Structure 1
Amino acid sequence: MHLNSVSFYFWHIRDKLVKILKLIIIESYNEFQVFLCSYYKNSAKVIMENGDQFRINWNKFFRNGKTVILPIDHGTAIPVKGLESPSELIESVNPYVNGFVVNFGLARSCSDSLEGKGICFRTDIYKPPYEGNDDHGSYRVFTAEDGLSVGANAVMNMCYTHHPKEETIYRECAGLVSECIDSELPIILESLPFGIGRSDDYTVENISFAVKCAAEIGADVVKTAYPTGASIEEFREIIDSSYVPVIVLGGSAMRDDNALFSMVKNAMDAGASGIAIGRNVWQHDRPAAVARSLSSIVHEDSSVSSAIKLMNDPL
Structure 2
Amino acid sequence: MDGKERRLRRILNKETGRSLVIAVDHGMALGAMTGIMDVAKTVRELDATGKVDCWLMTKGVYTHAFDPVGDPAVILRASGGATIAGPELTREARTATAEEALMLDADAMATTAFVGSVYEHETLISMAEMATECRKWNMPLLGVIGLGKTNEDKKKDPKFIGLGARVGAEHGADIIKTYYTETDFDKVVAGCPVPVMIAGGPKCETDLDTLNMIYGALQGGAKGIVMGRNVWQSPHPIALLSAVHGLIHGNMDVREAAQLLEHEISASV
Fold-level match, TM-score > 0.5?
Answer: yes
Residue number in structure 2 paired with 1:263: 213
Number of residue pairs matched by the alignment: 260
Equivalent position to 1:85, from 38, 49, 52: 38
Equivalent position to 1:198, from 127, 134, 152: 152
Q: How high is the TM-score relative to the length of structure 2? A: 0.90
Equivalent position to 1:304, from 239, 254, 260: 254
Residue number in structure 2 paired with 1:166: 120
Higher relative contact order (CA 8 A, sep 6+): 2
**For residue 109 of structure 1, what is the amino acid of its counterpart?**
H
Residue number in structure 2 paired with 1:123: 78
Q: How high is the TM-score relative to the length of structure 1? A: 0.77
CA distance in structure 2 between the aligned counterparts of 1:115 and 1:175, rounded to whole angstroms: 33
Residue number in structure 1 paired with 2:12: 62
Bigger CA drift: 301-310 or 83-92? 83-92
Equivalent position to 2:189, from 224, 229, 239: 239
8 Å Cα contact 2:75-2:106 kept in structure 1: yes
Q: Which runs of 5+ in 1 are unaligned?
A: 1-50
The Cα offsets for residues 71-118 of structure 1, whole Å up to 9 and x where unpaired, read as: 000111114211122232222222111000011111112343275111
Q: Whose Rg is larger? A: 1
CA distance in structure 2 between the aligned counterparts of 1:248 and 1:135, rounded to whole angstroms: 21
8 Å Cα contact 2:114-2:145 kept in structure 1: yes
CA distance in structure 2 between the aligned counterparts of 1:300 and 1:236, rounded to whole angstroms: 21
8 Å Cα contact 1:67-1:275 kept in structure 2: yes
CA distance in structure 2 between the aligned counterparts of 1:294 and 1:128, rounded to whole angstroms: 30
CA distance in structure 2 between the aligned counterparts of 1:99 and 1:207, rounded to whole angstroms: 24
Q: Does 1:209 align with 2:159?
A: no
8 Å Cα contact 1:123-1:155 kept in structure 2: yes
8 Å Cα contact 1:265-1:297 kept in structure 2: yes
CA distance in structure 1 between the aligned counterparts of 2:155 and 2:68, rounded to whole angstroms: 37
CA distance in structure 2 between the aligned counterparts of 1:197 and 1:278, rounded to whole angstroms: 21
8 Å Cα contact 2:110-2:143 kept in structure 1: yes
Bigger CA drift: 160-169 or 63-72? 160-169
CA distance in structure 2 between the aligned counterparts of 1:263 and 1:296, rounded to whole angstroms: 14
CA distance in structure 1 between the aligned counterparts of 2:254 and 2:97, rounded to whole angstroms: 39
Percentage of matched positions with identical amino acids = 22
User: How much does 1:151 deviate?
Assistant: 1.5
